Amino acid sequence: GTADLECDVVVIGGGPGGYSAAFRAADLGLKVMLVERYATLGGVCLNVGCIPSKALLHVASVMDEVSHMAALGVDFGAPTVDINKLRTHKEKVIGKLTGGLAAMAKMRKVTIVRGVGSFVGANHLQVAETTGKEGQEQTGKTQTIAFKNAIIAAGSQAVSLPFMPKDPRVVDSTGALALKEVPKRMLILGGGIIGLEMGTVYSTLGARLDVVEMLDGLMQGADRDLVKIWQKMNAPRFDNIMLKTKTVSARALPEGIEVTFASAEEGGTAPAPQVYDLVLQAVGRTPNGKKIAAEKAGVAVTDRGFINVDIQMRTNVPHIFAIGDIVGQPMLAHKAVHEAHVAAEVIAGELQGNKELAAAAFNARVIPSVAYTDPEVAWVGLTEDQAKAQGIKVKKGLFPWNASGRAIANGRDEGVTKLLFDDSPEAHGHGKILGGGMVGTHAGDMIGEIALAIEMGADAVDIGKTIHPHPTLGESIGMAAEIAHGSCTDVP
C-alpha cells in the first residue's frame, strides 16, 4: 500500500521505554519515528509518575525532617503551605525534563509524529493526529507510516475498580498528583509503592490516612523485616491499616465517599463502612496492549493486555519488538530503559549486519525496587521469604543503623541494611550475594551498590573488604557484609 511516511524503526509511545529506544536507534544510525499521542514526551514517568511524585515527596521529606528539628533544639515553627505554588513547582520540574527530551529528539533527528498509533498491517502503522494539551482530541487527520521494524512501548494505565462512582473525590495517581486540595480523611486503595508514596505526600500536608490491602502486608515484594520498621515509623500517619480486607462498594454522598469493606478471608470480619474526603485508587496498572490493533500486525496479546517477548524483546512477529510496562512486571522506568536499548541494538544490528549488536539481550540478574517514602525502602534480588520458599539456604547480615555514626548524627537511626548470601553446601562458605534491602533515609540512592554486587557475583568478603567512606549511610552495606561473614564483632 501507499504510505505518507517511511522509516527503519517506528516506536509507539514516548515514555522512558519509547524515547530511550528511539534515541538509541537514532544514535546507531537508523531513521526513527516516534509516535506519541500526548503533547510532551516522557510518558507516565515524567508527566504523571516517577518525577512529579518525587518533586512532591522531596517537599514532604523536608517538611518531615524540619518537624524533627525541634527535638534537637531548632524550631522552625508550623509550616504554611501554598498549594498552588507547590503545584507550579511540580509542573516546572516536569516542563524542564520533557522540554529536554524534545530537544534531544530534535538533536538526534528523531521525527515525532503526534497522534494515536494503531497497526494496519505487519509493516504499516496508522496515526490519528491529536491536538491539545492532554492530547485526547483527535483531528480526524490520519497518516500512514511504513516501517521495517516496530517497537511497541505503549505503557500502562491505572486500574479503576468497576463499582467506584465517577466523582472528583475518587482519583487515581494522576488525579492525586494534580494536587487540587488537601483532604481531611483520605483512603488509599492498595498498599503498594504508588499508594504509599502519594499517601506520604498528602499526610505530610495534613491528611489523615486509611489504607486497605487485600493481602496480609503492605509493600508486597519487600522484605518483611524492612516493612515492619517502615510501618512502625509511619504508624502516626494512619487511623486504620486494613490488611486482608477488600473494598466491595462505594457511593458518593454529599459529605464524602462512603466505602464498604469485606474481609478477604473466609469467615473474617471487616471494618464498618467509612466516609472519606478523597479516595485514591492505587490497585495496580493494566497494560495498553489491546489498544493498538496489534492483531493486524499478527502480534499476540495476552488476555490481560500484555505482549510476550523473548530476551531480545522480540514479539512473536520477528521484526516487531515490545518493551516497558506493556511486556510485564516489574512496571518500572529503569527496566523499560534497559529493555529499550536491547530492542534498538538488535534492530540496528540486524539491519546493518552487525553481529555483535544483533546479539544484544536483556539478561539483568536483578531489577531494584524503591519506595520513596519516609523512610525509604529499597530492595533488590532475593528476599528472605523468597529464599525460604525456594528452599535456598542463606546466610544473612543485618546491620542496624543505630550502630551507624552517620545515622545517629542525622537523628535518623531507625534504619536497617540487610544482605543475604548463598549458604548452600556448594558455596563452601564463600557464597555469592543473592539479595539485599535497606530501610532508612536515602536507601534508594544506595541500593544500586547491592545491585552491582549481585550482577558481579560478589561474596561477603568482596563487599566487606571494599572500603566505604566514613561516616556515611552507605558504610552500612560493608558492615552488613562483614556481619554475614562473621568478621565483624563490634556491632551488637
Please give the positions annotated as active site: 470
Identify the DSSP state of 254.
T
Please, which of residues 411-430 interact with ligand FAD by CB under 6 A? Answer: none
Among 213, 325, 376, 475, binds ligand FAD (CB under 6 A): 325
Query: For residues 339 and 80, what is the distance between their CA atoms, to the nearest angstrom?
Result: 43
Among 30, 34, 49, 313, binds ligand FAD (CB under 6 A): 49
Candidates 38, 30, 31, 32; CA nearest to 13 is 38
Task: Output 17 or 436, the one with its CB closest to ligand FAD.
Answer: 17
Among 10, 23, 34, 43, binds ligand FAD (CB under 6 A): 43
Q: What angle do CA 425, 428, 431 make, to 5 degrees?
A: 90
Are 491 and 479 spatial neighbours (Cβ–Cβ below 8 Å)?
yes
Shortest distance in whole angstroms from residue 275 CB to ligand FAD: 25
Identify the DSSP state of 41.
S
Shortest distance in whole angstroms from residue 25 CB to ligand FAD: 15
Stretch that binds ligand FAD, among 16-24, 350-358, 388-396, 406-414 (CB under 6 A): 16-24
Query: For residues 187 and 202, what is the distance between their CA atoms, to the nearest angstrom?
Result: 11
The kind and range of the H/E element at 7 are strand 5-12
Helical packing angle, 16-27 and 333-352, nearest 10°: 30
Are 52 and 93 spatial neighbours (Cβ–Cβ below 8 Å)?
yes
Query: For residues 189 and 435, what is the distance between their CA atoms, to the nearest angstrom?
Result: 29
Q: Does 280 bind ligand FAD (CB under 6 A)?
A: no
Identify the DSSP state of 4.
S
The HSE-up count of residue 121 (CA atoms within 13 Å, CB side) is 10
Q: Does 200 bind ligand FAD (CB under 6 A)?
A: no
Among 7, 8, 9, 17, binds ligand FAD (CB under 6 A): 17
Among 30, 153, 348, 473, binds ligand FAD (CB under 6 A): 153
Among 188, 194, 211, 227, binds ligand FAD (CB under 6 A): 194
Candidates 439, 365, 379, 442; CA nearest to 222 is 379
Q: Residue holding cell 546491620?
A: 399
Please, which of residues 347-376 interact with ligand FAD by CB under 6 A? Answer: 372
Q: Does 110 bind ligand FAD (CB under 6 A)?
A: no
Among 8, 11, 18, 366, binds ligand FAD (CB under 6 A): 18
Site string for ligand FAD, 67-86 (x = CB under 6 A): --------------------
Q: Does 191 bind ligand FAD (CB under 6 A)?
A: no
Query: For residues 119 and 297, what is the distance between their CA atoms, to the nearest angstrom?
Result: 6
Q: Does 124 bind ligand FAD (CB under 6 A)?
A: no
Among 25, 50, 196, 394, binds ligand FAD (CB under 6 A): 50
Candidates 24, 265, 315; CA nearest to 152 is 315
Shortest distance in whole angstroms from residue 116 CB to ligand FAD: 4
Site string for ligand FAD, 282-321 (x = CB under 6 A): ------x--xx-----------------------------
Identify the DSSP state of 272.
P
Site string for ligand FAD, 214-253 (x = CB under 6 A): ----------------------------------------
Task: Output 44 or 479, the one with its CB closest to ligand FAD.
Answer: 44
Query: For residues 490 and 140, what is the distance between their CA atoms, to the nearest angstrom?
Result: 71
Stretch that binds ligand FAD, among 40-48, 55-63, 75-83, 232-240 (CB under 6 A): 40-48
Identify the DSSP state of 305.
S
Identify the DSSP state of 376.
E
Shortest distance in whole angstroms from residue 326 CB to ligand FAD: 6
- Tell me the three cell numbers of residue 333: 522506568
| Interacting residues with ligand FAD (CB under 6 A) | 12-18, 35-38, 43-45, 49-50, 53, 116-118, 153-156, 173, 194, 288, 291-292, 324-325, 331-334, 336, 372
